[in-house]
Amino acid sequence: MPIGFRQNIIPPSCAVDTLAAPYNPNKILEVAIFSEHRFAFYFWCKWSRERRLKTPPSLITFDWHQDLSPPYKDEISGLRKLKDANLRWIAKYSWDRLSPRNDVQIHAALLLNQLKDAYVVCRQRTNREKQYQVKDFYGNLHNVLIFHSPEDLENHLVKINEEAIYLDIDLDYFTKSNPLSVGDPTRKQQYTYTSRSEVLEMFNPHNMIIDFAFKRLAGFTIATEPKFCGGLMKSNYYLNLIDKLYFSPSLFYSNPNSTGASWTF
């Protein structure tokens, strides 16, 4: 008898928890955590397909890096084929074909019209324009905006209207000086980090950006990226801060007498 394959399978090193939306208990969404940031591509595609809307959610992402490289030439033909592929093949592409540099996932999702627009809060400085457009495979235009501080994004969000948001956090955002990263304006030989109080203030649920995202939340992705955080302990430290800030008792909590994680606010 031939061995069957599951049609829906997530990429390796990914974990997914399901819970009610922050401000809508009748709406269910997923929180996905993974070590390599490119796997966010799979979840954005999965969630946008499940929503079956003409216009997909926009992305708000916090990352040390911009992660705005276009897919490389050898990735384009396979990317085009994903339009009609099942989730198993999207998972395989995310693992096997999408750049292991973990820097093309945003453009790849835009090209497939799985994101509407992208708002990127990052520390990395490049010569890239701070606002530009991407034309997807179907002729739609998508806005990409780069901000070097949360305050700059706040000033922009008051001017726009978004119906749905994917929130994305790469934990290496919490490094300030990052010796592994090209484009660090204050590059040093040692890592320097965002303080606990800064994290709690910046990502407080009632902070303007987070409140904006959570009221429109369609999915939440977290990349742990321990190599770029200065090691596993630092990555876990910041993951623990985010977990305690948003979830109770904890993501992935399992107990026969509990319904699992819920939002803390």
Convert the pLDDT of each residue in 101-132 to its tens digit: 999 999 999 999 999 999 999 999 888 999 99
Number of CB atoms found within 10 A of residue 166's CB: 28
Please tell me the predicted confidence (pLDDT) of residue 179. Answer: 86
Q: Which helix (H) or strand (E) covers residue 257, if one does? A: none
What pLDDT does 8 receive?
64
How far, in Å, CA of 19 to CA of 72, rounded? 36
In the CATH hierarchy, which top-level class contains the domain 14-256? Answer: alpha beta
Report the candidate in 52, 41, 137 with the shortest Cα–Cα distance to residue 97.
41
**DSSP assignment of 131-159, as one string?**
EEEEE-TTS-EEEEEEESSHHHHHHHHTT
Quick one: pLDDT at residue 210? 98
Task: In whole angstroms, give the CA distance from residue 207 to residue 130.
Answer: 23
**pTM of the predicted structure, to 2 decimals:** 0.94
Sites in the chain below the pLDDT cut of 70: 1-8, 182-188
Alpha carbons 123 and 185: distance in angstroms, whole number:
8
Please report, as a single letter, which amino acid is at residue 127.
N
Q: Taking a C-beta distance cutoff of 8 angstroms, is the pair 215, 224 a contact?
A: no
Structure tokens at 142: 């998508």
